[in-house]
Amino acid sequence: MINKTVKDVSEALNGVHDGMTFMLGGFGLSGIPENAISELVRLNLKNLTCISNNAGVDDFGLGLLLQKKQIDKMVSSYVGENAEFERQMLSGELEVELTPQGTLAAKCQAAQQGFPAIYTPAGYGTEVAVGKETREFDGKMYVLEEAYKADFAFVKAWKGDKAGNLIFKGTARNFNPVMCGAATITVAEVEELVEPGELDPNQIHIPGIFVQRIFQGKDYEKRIEQRTVRKKESV
């Protein structure tokens, strides 16, 4: 029986070192690999390139790595919730590659599926397309975008089994699934780890073939990035 479990986050991140490129799943603060990020902070790795939809907030998520200036380059589509990110970008301390959100997902998925590149209409005629090949299809212009290359992908799932099969929940299903298998090594942390056969095959979002290491996560904060509540009405 296939068993891809490792005992903890420390073993899961065996082999990471300075200068690597990482993919990190999640959307806002939803479904981010909290345990993997905390371990990266503890290891104090430097000169990292991080591919993620966003950069967390000042004191949580990737914001923790930014605080310690562990990231040299961020590849993201939305970065509006992190003041430290803004400061480092405007001061020139941090290299930033802004990518349309759909293109970011598609470039991850291309890497996952073994395609070297994709054509997308997003960004044509803008700074996004500068220096890139463009081509016309059926009267519409497209930009050639190369698939991402990453050393590790860190994802977080709701449930997983020891063979690496994963089920995501809610908003966590946005970027986590397309990053599975898109790097040399995919590490999955899960809220609940079960035996093979316990997950309904019809509910599995990512098969274990895309995952190399899986472990039971712990101490999830699951912060809410922006809380909006209705004012209490007077009686």
pLDDT tens-digit map of 30-72: 899 999 999 999 999 999 999 999 888 888 999 999 999 999 9
Task: Please state the φ and ψ torsions of residue 151, each to the nearest 5 degrees.
Answer: -80, -45
Neighbours of 171 (CB within 10 A): 14
Enter the pTM of the model.
0.92
Q: What is the Cα–Cα distance from 122 to 99, expressed in whole angstroms?
A: 9
Q: Which two tokens stand for residue 96?
A: 């930033």
The pLDDT confidence band at residue 156, using thresholds 50, 70 and 90, is very high
For 65, residues 6+ apart whose C-beta sits below 8 A from its C-beta are: 37, 40, 41, 48, 50, 71
Q: Which stretches within the chain are classed as H helix?
A: 9-12, 34-43, 63-67, 83-91, 101-113, 176-179
Neighbours of 227 (CB within 10 A): 6
pLDDT tens-digit map of 158-174: 999 999 999 999 989 99
pLDDT tens-digit map of 71-121: 999 999 988 778 899 999 999 999 999 999 999 999 999 999 999 999 999
Q: What is the Cα–Cα distance from 187 to 40, expressed in whole angstroms?
A: 13
- The full length of the chain comes to 235
Three-state DSSP state, 30: strand
Superfamily, domain 9-101+148-216: Glutaconate Coenzyme A-transferase (3.40.1080.10)
Strand partners, 75: 51, 97
What are the sequence ranges of the domains in the chain? 9-101+148-216
